[in-house]
Chain A
Amino acid sequence: MTAPLTLDGLTIAPAQVWRGVRLVPLLRDAPMVGLRLGVRPASTPYAVVDRLPDDPRALYVSYIPHGLVARWTDDGSEPALGTRLAEDPRELARGCVRLEHRLVRSEGTRTVRMLPLHVAVEGLLAVGFKPPTLRWDAFTTQFRRHGLIERSEPFVVGRAVTDLEEALRVFELHPRQCGVLVFVADVLFAALVVPDPRDYADLHVALLEDLYADLILRHASLPALGAWNDLHLDESRVADLASLRREVERARASWASFHLGMADDLVGRPLVRQELYRLGRWRLERFRTDMSPDAGNHIGEVITDEHGRVAHLHTTRLSAAQARRAWLLSRLVSVAWSLDAFAAQEGRSVDDVVRLLDDAGLAWILRPELLHAAGRTPVRGPR
């Protein structure tokens, strides 16, 4: 389950830039038949999702502005979409928090309701959630008994980024557009791919309601990208109109590799994948990158067909702090929570590891004397 992500079947079109935001359209020559995605607006943006599949005790509470409905057919015909979307009785229940049962939930035959990105976020939060099975002295009793108890990760809603809102408003959709890569200050923050251009037209504005790492606020406040020329012609090769046309074709061909290069911390990177659901011949998976501190890290969910082609992709970037926390926890899990083994693998002292955990906001799981020994102040309870 480590196959890297590819954007085969999608054409990269020239970017549209508004101040610091660069939106790169992804086009399909023909829509993927047999699967459609639609938006279902929610009555309130906050939701409690109970009964997580990994841990029956766990409760997932989050900002969830809308749901996605996926509908598919087995014979490759067009799925009907949009007829039943507003009739869900739970939508009528008003309140400050609504209750959703499961992140991915079947709604009748060949229809699934998903809460966008939360499959991925839940995967992130679930890393190291369960308590260690061995009784290590390094950890507090509370952590040994109950595990992390609660884990939260902060995200920013897209609407908080003024330039993103404006960039999405003035963005001009391509007729065959099925996706977009969102860069802010030339850092990839999100990717969205859907099977059909009509789905994209609906979901374009929903990018505003999505979750972004808080890093996006700092990047959005950087100076706007300069107004430069995206078509770099080598005029020495131009002698007449035909050669000018050839030169334009050559310059056009270079965009794709350029923008793919800008997205290299997501595309082509080894992934940790986990299959969640089968939608006929399609497969819903969550994935995350390896959380290496040297590159940008992304989490996301993807629906692929039996050939591994991407029908739906929805990702968000993690901030460096989020990635470091996830990296630390996943490494600790991989060594069965042994601080000594972890320190040995990293070629560091145990005190260094304690300091790493403290910096990541996880000091409360360690016994106070370890922290004292590492020169840090103990804290009570999760921060």
Chain B
Amino acid sequence: MTTHDDRAAQVTREDLLLFASVCLAATSQREFHTPVHVARSETPWRDDTPTSALDFVHAYVLGNYRRLYARMLAIRINDHNRQRIVAGLLASGAACPAEDRAEEGALIRHALRHLPTHRALEVFKLLQRERVNNRRSRAALRAWLDHRGASSFVALKYGPRLRAAVRHAHVRLPDEVAAWLFQSRARRTWQDPLLATAWRARFSQEALYELPFTLAEGYAARRGIPRDRFLARIAPRMTEHERLRLAASAAEHGVDLGVDLEHVPLTRLALVWLALDADARDARREAFRAGLVAAAARVAERAPRWRRVGLVLDRSWSTSGSVERRRRPLAVALGVWFLAHALADEVVVRWSLPVDDPLDVDARGPTDLTGPLLDVLEAAPDVVVVVSDGFDNAPRGGASAVVGAYRRRVDPAGQVRFVHVNPVFDASQLGPHALGPDLPLVGVRDAEDLPAALAFAGAATSPAGLAALDAYLSRAAARACAALSAPAEAS
């Protein structure tokens, strides 16, 4: 009987670790080893169902572990899975047990608040397409609009989507916004300053430059304003993210947007760096290095410290990613390099192909993790973190064989912990691709997810881990609910 219970607990644990990895890594986008038709629309075991592997995992966990499914919303999962979970919960409200109802509702509101606007609206579009319309989903839209405020901006930028969501859920908008969306706009005077400016921008170029960049861009294109003139004048109205995103193309037009690298998140900064060409790299190398160090330090503030860590980082050709996720696996590896140096007292790093300055990495060569693992183990670290997409091929299965032999023959007491961190979702396996049975695997999306991923992997691999995992998630859920009721939270 105990063996049966043990086995059941093990299955639960494995399911949850898989789902956590999926929530951190899967985006339904094409990956280096996963063509788009596999990523989006084909189940690997049956061709007649038009659902993706990700759909299956979500339906399975929602059906079997509903409470944990909802509580995933409280931790740092990626937005794509957050959307899916919210939509899944709202579409199946009747199945929710009464005692969980309040917490689930709070988590849904919390998740919607933290989604970018277009993704929150995407959730409501999904509900509309699935013909889900219940009291709870309508309340969720109302709560989101109340919290979002400034619905005139949403109406201007996401007009059709907001119109569809509001129409579907029968929600009242402020009168002027409703008028903008649903009635003739001519022969009106607009009290709302944003709506008034947007209306004037149809006739006056000066008014155009008073709009936020994201709204002004469309108007400028329609009026045929030259790009360089437009960028130079609209620069003060850009957000930091927009500045970063447009810095390269603005430079081509001779406009310097004055990007401030201090506040860019770690992985995004790594991605921007890896996208630069050789000249731009030479000019801005130290600025980026400082930015990456600062970004890593910000993440490290909130995370537990490490003593001695060994890093094995994959920079093989497959880390170039796909058209949709260009160089992301490499950017995560680079981010982990900086994060580990911020978190640990001592770091030993080996790349799959040696490189002197980590800022010089590019995606090249085969995936040889065997030699780097042996080198890292020489330094006797407490924990060895392998960042790789899981396809080691020089030789195949080399990493797992070395770790297995080390754990069984050299270090039976288990003084060295091993974790394989995988930023790539493999749809054909319903999860990130594992290096082998001897390396615990956890999926991530950003380098910033690393501390959470390690906590998760630790909980899930220990025999008493299920309770710990449960406690971890319930603490995170309680924090999220508390933050929701606290009026101080503004963003």
A200 CA / B32 CA spacing, docked (Å): 22
List residues 228-269 of chain A with CB under 8 A from any CB of chain B.
Answer: 228-233, 235, 238-241, 244-245, 247-248, 252, 255
Return the chain B residue nearest A25 by Cβ: B366
Distance (whole angstroms) from the CB of B391 to the closest CB of chain A: 8
B186 at the interface (CB under 8 A from A): no
A194 at the interface (CB under 8 A from B): no
Q: Is the CB of A175 within 8 A of B394?
A: no
A227 CA / B405 CA spacing, docked (Å): 19
Given contacts A239-B410, A244-B409, contact A173 B317 (CB under 8 A): yes
Given contacts A175-B365, A241-B374, contact A170 B394 (CB under 8 A): no
Pairs A–B under 8 Å by Cβ, sample size 6: A172-B316, A173-B365, A230-B395, A230-B396, A231-B401, A248-B370
Given contacts A231-B370, A231-B398, contact A244 B410 (CB under 8 A): yes
Return the chain A residue nearest B365 by Cβ: A175
Contacts of B353 in A (CB 8 A): 175
Q: Is the CB of A229 within 8 A of B374?
A: no
Contacts of A182 in B (CB 8 A): none
Distance (whole angstroms) from the CB of B413 to the closest CB of chain A: 14
Given contacts A175-B364, A233-B405, A248-B374, contact A240 B397 (CB under 8 A): no
A231 CA / B397 CA spacing, docked (Å): 7
List residues 364-396 of chain B with CB under 8 A from any CB of chain A.
Answer: 364-367, 370, 374, 377-378, 391, 393-396
Contacts of B35 in A (CB 8 A): 166
Q: Is the CB of A244 within 8 A of B365?
A: no
Q: Is the CB of A229 within 8 A of B409?
A: no
Give the 6 A-B CB pairs with smallest separation, nearest first: A229-B397, A14-B395, A230-B395, A172-B317, A230-B396, A238-B409
Given contacts A16-B393, A238-B410, A244-B409, contact A172 B367 (CB under 8 A): yes
Contacts of A228 in B (CB 8 A): 396-397
A52 at the interface (CB under 8 A from B): no
Contacts of A229 in B (CB 8 A): 396-398, 400-401, 436
Q: Is the CB of A233 within 8 A of B396?
A: no
B307 at the interface (CB under 8 A from A): no
Contacts of A173 in B (CB 8 A): 317, 364-366
Return the chain A residue nearest B373 by Cβ: A248
Return the chain B residue nearest A238 by Cβ: B409
A321 at the interface (CB under 8 A from B): no
Contacts of A245 in B (CB 8 A): 374
Distance (whole angstroms) from the CB of B407 to the closest CB of chain A: 10
Dominant secondary structure at the A interface = loop
Q: Is the CB of A241 within 8 A of B410?
A: yes
Q: Is the CB of A174 within 8 A of B401?
A: no
Known contacts A15-B395, A170-B32, A233-B402; 7 additional CB pairs below 8 A are A16-B396, A166-B35, A170-B33, A173-B365, A230-B395, A247-B405, A255-B395
Contact of B393 among A14, A175, A232, A247 (CB under 8 A): A14
Q: Is the CB of B402 within 8 A of A231?
A: yes
A229 CA / B393 CA spacing, docked (Å): 10
Q: Is the CB of B366 within 8 A of A174?
A: yes
Contacts of B409 in A (CB 8 A): 235, 238-239, 244
A175 CA / B316 CA spacing, docked (Å): 11
Contact of A241 among B377, B391, B396 (CB under 8 A): B377
Distance (whole angstroms) from the CB of B480 to the closest CB of chain A: 39
B190 at the interface (CB under 8 A from A): no
Please report B residues at the A interface, Cβ cutoff 8 Å: 32-33, 35, 316-318, 353, 364-367, 370, 374, 377-378, 391, 393-398, 400-402, 404-406, 408-410, 436
Contacts of B317 in A (CB 8 A): 172-173
The size bracket of the interface on A is: 20 to 34
Q: Is the CB of B410 within 8 A of A17?
A: no
Return the chain B residue nearest A229 by Cβ: B397
A13 at the interface (CB under 8 A from B): yes
Contact of B402 among A25, A175, A232, A244 (CB under 8 A): A244
Distance (whole angstroms) from the CB of A231 to the closest CB of chain B: 4
Return the chain A residue nearest B316 by Cβ: A172
Contacts of B370 in A (CB 8 A): 231, 248
Return the chain B residue nearest A177 by Cβ: B366
Return the chain A residue nearest B397 by Cβ: A229
Chain A 204-239 near chain B by CB (<8 Å), digits 1 or 0 = 000000000000000000000001111111010011
Kindly name the residue among A17, A232, A241, A252 whose own CB sees the greatest number of chain B CB atoms within 10 A: A241
Q: Is the CB of A13 within 8 A of B394?
A: yes
Given contacts A229-B401, A235-B408, contact A172 B395 (CB under 8 A): no
A252 CA / B397 CA spacing, docked (Å): 12
Q: Is the CB of B405 within 8 A of A244?
A: yes
Distance (whole angstroms) from the CB of A112 to the closest CB of chain B: 32
Distance (whole angstroms) from the CB of B456 to the closest CB of chain A: 25
Contacts of B391 in A (CB 8 A): 170
A13 CA / B394 CA spacing, docked (Å): 7
Contacts of B318 in A (CB 8 A): 170, 172
Contacts of B398 in A (CB 8 A): 14, 229-231, 248
A239 CA / B367 CA spacing, docked (Å): 27
Return the chain A residue nearest B366 by Cβ: A172
Distance (whole angstroms) from the CB of B375 to the closest CB of chain A: 9
Distance (whole angstroms) from the CB of A202 to the closest CB of chain B: 16
Return the chain A residue nearest B436 by Cβ: A229
Distance (whole angstroms) from the CB of B327 to the closest CB of chain A: 15
Distance (whole angstroms) from the CB of A324 to the closest CB of chain B: 36
Contacts of A248 in B (CB 8 A): 370, 374, 398, 402
Contacts of A247 in B (CB 8 A): 405
A251 CA / B370 CA spacing, docked (Å): 12
A247 CA / B377 CA spacing, docked (Å): 15
Distance (whole angstroms) from the CB of A235 to the closest CB of chain B: 5
Return the chain B residue nearest A236 by Cβ: B409
Contacts of A252 in B (CB 8 A): 395
A17 CA / B367 CA spacing, docked (Å): 13
A242 CA / B346 CA spacing, docked (Å): 22
A15 CA / B397 CA spacing, docked (Å): 11
A279 CA / B409 CA spacing, docked (Å): 56
A228 CA / B366 CA spacing, docked (Å): 18
Contacts of B366 in A (CB 8 A): 13-14, 16, 25, 172-174
Distance (whole angstroms) from the CB of A125 to the closest CB of chain B: 38
A233 CA / B401 CA spacing, docked (Å): 7
Q: Is the CB of A17 within 8 A of B402?
A: no
A248 CA / B399 CA spacing, docked (Å): 11
A111 CA / B377 CA spacing, docked (Å): 52
Contact of A17 among B374, B393, B401 (CB under 8 A): B393
Contacts of B400 in A (CB 8 A): 229
Distance (whole angstroms) from the CB of B144 to the closest CB of chain A: 42
Distance (whole angstroms) from the CB of A176 to the closest CB of chain B: 10
